[in-house]
Structure 1
Amino acid sequence: MNIKNELRNGILISAIGKYSNIIIQFFVLGILSRLLTPDEFGIVAIINVFLIFFTMLVDMGIGPAIIQNKSLNQKQLNGIFTFTILLSLFLSICFALLAKPIATFYNNVHLINVCIIMSFSLLTSGLNMVPQSVLLKQKRFFEVNAAQVISSIVSGIVGITLALNHFSYYAIVYSSIVRNLTMLIILYSQTNLKITKNIKKDDLSSIYAFSKNQFLFNFVNYFSRNLDSILIGKFISVRALAYYDKAYMLTLYPNQLLTSVITPVVQPILSEYEKQHKVIKQTYLSLTKILAFIGMPLTVFLFFTSKEIIYLLFGSQWTGSIPIFQILSLSIWIQMILSSTGSIFQSANRTDLLLLSGVLSALLNVSSIIVGAWTGSIKYLASILVLSFLVNFIQTNYLLMIKIFQDKQREFYKNLVDPLKISVLMLVVLAITNYFLGEASFLIQLTVKIIISLIIFILGMKFTGNYKIFHFILRNRKGEN
């Protein structure tokens, strides 16, 4: 099977699983958002910031390193798996011990019990890492996605049931633990991994060079992606954090719909072409073009439907999220394309440049977040952060096109011209529509805007001659090179 067919089949399997998972999550989140208050969501959002940091420490870049390294045998995998178990257990205990200091920092005693209980979520998440990476390495995308869907269903039922029985924010906490535990049971049963008594240094050194740079990238990237939540929760308010967190989460869903479907497939397949940079470059440009044609018009659509979407998904009690979502939606197309770049750096075995890109991004994002938090307004913070994403978009693609592919950046940016044309046309039409539908109900406004946006998108794809672009994913051509 050639690279295009492998990518297409992998992406289709991943898409079915991911979209099913997102539909389930949307359904569950919509119910929980009506059963729980923004303040209750804010409590969990604070702990999640620290949970993400410890999850990164557990990972240490080991997952991508397992996928990239083609010489690992079963004994080495067992040694790495055993190491991650011990590491997960140690870091989970450390996380639980930090419960009181975190609660003191935010002056909120409710955080103590939540933090202690969430340490179990950290433990189960860490145990999932190696089994999932092994299955992805073997290109068993169906098993991984099936596990994600099943675990979302089970955890969703648990979360809703607990919320209905007045468990408050603990409904979200226990739901997270159940999701990770269900994933662990399913994934582990699909592998031949065993716990070993002896962990050899060679087992870890075989992936050290790759995982070191990946971990350092994840480390600096954490602060550029999460410092905003830390500072908002501390210096503005828990409620403001809840509004911001909901808006930011919505801007990430397009990535989950597209790039999170593509990227788990890209590295396992492209890693076999590590020395063939031309193959990796062409794949990257093809993916970029697809993401631009979806991301740019989607950015415009979400900007003009922010109110309708917030009301539909979460209810009127989340009105405070609307202006934040509108601002952050401007970065959606940027984040979609940027989210695909990590797999390209990894596939070319240039995690050193991935680390450099992460450091540059972190410096800019952290500076922007600090300035935004200093203003005391989450609107200003969101606006400055969008500008930061744009600059990082430019520097990341410079490193890819110039340093790795040794090509001109013009070849990359010309992929954005036609998507920009369609997006500008959509912006003008939706702005006019917004003016004339100002007094209509949010459901009528949303319906009309969806229809208009789809018509403009389809006609735009036709008139720019790009309607065949999605055949990369959908068409099954025999003998294709």
Structure 2
Amino acid sequence: MKNKIFSGFFWKFNEQISSQLVTFIISIVLARILTPKDYGIVALINVFISLADVFVTSGFGSALIQKKDADDVDFSTIFYISEIFSIVVYMFLFFIAPYIADFYNNTDLTVIVRVLALKLPLSAFNAIQQAYVSKKMLFKKIFISTTVSSIISGIVGIIVAYLGYGIWALVVQYILNTIIISIALFVQLDWHPQLKFSWSSGKPLLSYGWKIVATSFIGTFFNQLRTLLLGKMYTPAELAFYNRGQKFPELVSQNIDGTISTVLFPAISEFNDDLSKVKSMIRRSLRISTFIIMPIMFGMAATSKPIILILLTDKWISSVPYMQYLCIAGAFGTISNTNMQAISAIGRSDVLLKLELVKKPLYLILLLIGLRISVLAVAYTMLIYTICSTVMNMSPNRKLLNYKFKEQVSDILPALSLSLIMFLVVDSLTLLNLPMMIIFIIQIVVGIVIYVFLAIIFKLEAWNYLLSTVLKR
């Protein structure tokens, strides 16, 4: 299993890095062609697309992964259920599109919503493909598919933007990316939808999956509620600055934390009847994920101004403070994700749902407070919420896995302490009277040297483990 996890992490990480790197480069090119208003409008539409996407991509795939002996009948059954859901959800969005346009006082949104929502049935199919990949830990197969789809869809998006079609460049890019990756996986994978359906097989999967769907929907709804309210109360450009500041920490979260979560979930599910083994795997994962992600997030917070100016030009300078707050929030997000993967893997989707129901009133209160002040205040209150929700997500595993709060803090504290020290040093380097590119390079080098040096001096277990594992490979 250790070999499978390492191999899975290697290929999933490469897939994430390659696709996100391509997407990142494409987004920089598009950001130079398109306006903040274009991105703001797409962000408004994605509020509804993301909510709809939950019903077709969340829960059911996780149920297939969590079930030890899931077979072709299970996969085909869930495929048909997901596709039916996706068509129903698409029709709903099709009919409410004019009301969405009226809400934002922009009649052009009607056709954009209807076209962009076409990706939902494709996403439903792709979600089952992704579940099969995770279940069999065939992450190598998805590496080329994702990279190729990102490149082709990105190039087409740039061409459409260059031709002057504005917001449609983003719409075409999103839909084409889903189409290409689904086709590529269809060619590579052994599993294809079959004319098989079993309600007796589907019922227990739905019993587990609907709680994951509900949990994801609640989380997505409140996250998108932030965008919806920001778009209503402030200008599309201000919303775009917030979203652009959020993109950089999201990039790290999707590449590293997303990779760890994707590989960890099916691995833990193999041992979900041995709770002591699950605890051991979670402790190791938490130490390693915080050791990797925390310095990157705190480092990005310290270098946010050079990053924005060098990559996006000074027209996006207003994104800097948003990026700083949201990077720090992202540093704590990995703790929540690791704990939630453990809860999900042992089959306690009910606990995840209860957690969301408890956390979201706090989220709403903090969001409303931030909205009454400013867009920047929203970023600050989201940082507060992330820290609070992290503590809440750590709580259930004290009983479920006997993973005490004190143990979790001891596993997190080394990486957090070293990251804070590194942050203070790197942030102070912005005072140097040098060209921005030179400052940025110095910050990166100094940050890496300080963090690795402290890890060696204090003999961090995560550093020694990673170093020995890499050297063996």
Q: TM-score, normalised by structure 2?
A: 0.95
Aligned partners of 2:403, 2:71: CA distance in 1, in Å? 37
Matched, 1:391 2:385: no
| Residues 265, 440 of structure 1: alpha-carbon distance in 2 compared, 3 angstrom cutoff | same
Equivalent residue letter for 2:193: K
Identity of paired residues, percent?
A: 23
Matched, 1:193 2:189: no
| Residues 462, 180 of structure 1: alpha-carbon distance in 2 compared, 3 angstrom cutoff | same
Aligned partners of 1:129, 1:328: CA distance in 2, in Å? 28
Aligned to 2:413: 417
Aligned to 2:429: 433
Aligned partners of 2:75, 2:416: CA distance in 1, in Å? 46
The alpha-carbon deviation at position 408 of structure 1 amounts to: 2.1
Aligned to 2:34: 36
Match among 56, 62, 69 for residue 71 of structure 1: 69
Aligned to 2:219: 221
The alpha-carbon deviation at position 291 of structure 1 amounts to: 2.0
For residues 90-105 of structure 1, what are the structure 2 equivalents within 5 Å? 90-105=88-103
Aligned to 2:455: 461
State the superposition RMSD in angstroms. 1.8
Unaligned stretches of 5+ residues in structure 2: none
8 Å contact 2:325–2:379 — kept in the other structure?
yes
4+ aligned runs moved over 6 Å, structure 1: none
Aligned to 1:268: 266
Aligned to 1:363: 361
Aligned partners of 1:171, 1:442: CA distance in 2, in Å? 31
Aligned partners of 1:447, 1:60: CA distance in 2, in Å? 40
Aligned partners of 1:157, 1:340: CA distance in 2, in Å? 35
Aligned partners of 2:452, 2:80: CA distance in 1, in Å? 51
The alpha-carbon deviation at position 60 of structure 1 amounts to: 4.9
Aligned to 2:248: 250
Aligned partners of 2:113, 2:350: CA distance in 1, in Å? 34
Match among 358, 375, 379 for residue 382 of structure 1: 379
Equivalent residue letter for 1:468: N
Aligned partners of 1:442, 1:347: CA distance in 2, in Å? 46
8 Å contact 1:136–1:144 — kept in the other structure?
no
Alignment partner of 1:273: what SS?
Answer: coil
Match among 397, 400, 404 for residue 404 of structure 1: 400
The alpha-carbon deviation at position 34 of structure 1 amounts to: 0.4
Instruction: Provide Cα deviations, 1:300-341, integer angstroms capped at 9, x if missing partner.
Output: 322221111112222221112111112222212101222333
The alpha-carbon deviation at position 56 of structure 1 amounts to: 0.4
Alignment partner of 2:465: what SS?
Answer: coil
The alpha-carbon deviation at position 199 of structure 1 amounts to: 4.3
Q: TM-score, normalised by structure 1?
A: 0.93
Aligned partners of 2:220, 2:179: CA distance in 1, in Å? 24
Aligned partners of 1:67, 1:175: CA distance in 2, in Å? 29
Instruction: Provide Cα deviations, 1:341-368, integer angstroms capped at 9, x if missing partner.
Output: 3321121111111112222232222221
Alignment partner of 2:98: what SS?
Answer: helix
The alpha-carbon deviation at position 36 of structure 1 amounts to: 0.4
Instruction: Provide Cα deviations, 1:152-188, integer angstroms capped at 9, x if missing partner.
Output: 1111111111111111010010111100001111222
User: How many residues get paired?
Assistant: 470
The alpha-carbon deviation at position 451 of structure 1 amounts to: 1.1
Unaligned stretches of 5+ residues in structure 1: none
Equivalent residue letter for 2:448: L
Aligned partners of 1:208, 1:428: CA distance in 2, in Å? 48
Alignment partner of 2:248: what SS?
Answer: helix
Alignment partner of 1:340: what SS?
Answer: helix
Equivalent residue letter for 2:32: R
The alpha-carbon deviation at position 475 of structure 1 amounts to: 4.8
8 Å contact 1:223–1:362 — kept in the other structure?
no
The alpha-carbon deviation at position 237 of structure 1 amounts to: 1.6
Aligned partners of 1:49, 1:144: CA distance in 2, in Å? 27
Aligned partners of 1:65, 1:424: CA distance in 2, in Å? 38
The alpha-carbon deviation at position 246 of structure 1 amounts to: 1.0
Aligned to 1:54: 52
For residues 21-420 of structure 1, what are the structure 2 equivalents within 5 Å? 21-189=19-187, 190-196=189-195, 199-375=197-373, 377-400=374-397, 402-420=398-416
8 Å contact 1:81–1:195 — kept in the other structure?
no
8 Å contact 2:268–2:345 — kept in the other structure?
yes
Name the stretch that deviates more: 348-357 or 415-424: 415-424
Name the stretch that deviates more: 173-182 or 104-113: 104-113
| Residues 78, 416 of structure 1: alpha-carbon distance in 2 compared, 3 angstrom cutoff | closer
Equivalent residue letter for 1:298: I
8 Å contact 2:73–2:198 — kept in the other structure?
no
8 Å contact 1:18–1:256 — kept in the other structure?
yes
The alpha-carbon deviation at position 205 of structure 1 amounts to: 0.3
Name the stretch that deviates more: 360-369 or 109-118: 360-369
Name the stretch that deviates more: 454-463 or 306-315: 306-315
The alpha-carbon deviation at position 195 of structure 1 amounts to: 4.8
For residues 445-456 of structure 1, what are the structure 2 equivalents within 5 Å? 445-456=439-450
Instruction: Provide Cα deviations, 1:73-111, integer angstroms capped at 9, x if missing partner.
Output: 323322221222222222112212221111111112221
Equivalent residue letter for 1:387: I
8 Å contact 1:77–1:203 — kept in the other structure?
no
The alpha-carbon deviation at position 420 of structure 1 amounts to: 3.1
| Residues 347, 471 of structure 1: alpha-carbon distance in 2 compared, 3 angstrom cutoff | farther
8 Å contact 1:82–1:195 — kept in the other structure?
no
The alpha-carbon deviation at position 63 of structure 1 amounts to: 0.7
8 Å contact 1:233–1:241 — kept in the other structure?
yes
The alpha-carbon deviation at position 280 of structure 1 amounts to: 1.3
| Residues 245, 408 of structure 1: alpha-carbon distance in 2 compared, 3 angstrom cutoff | same
| Residues 138, 365 of structure 1: alpha-carbon distance in 2 compared, 3 angstrom cutoff | same
| Residues 34, 300 of structure 1: alpha-carbon distance in 2 compared, 3 angstrom cutoff | same
Aligned partners of 2:18, 2:160: CA distance in 1, in Å? 23
Equivalent residue letter for 1:423: S
8 Å contact 1:67–1:134 — kept in the other structure?
yes
Name the stretch that deviates more: 383-392 or 366-375: 366-375
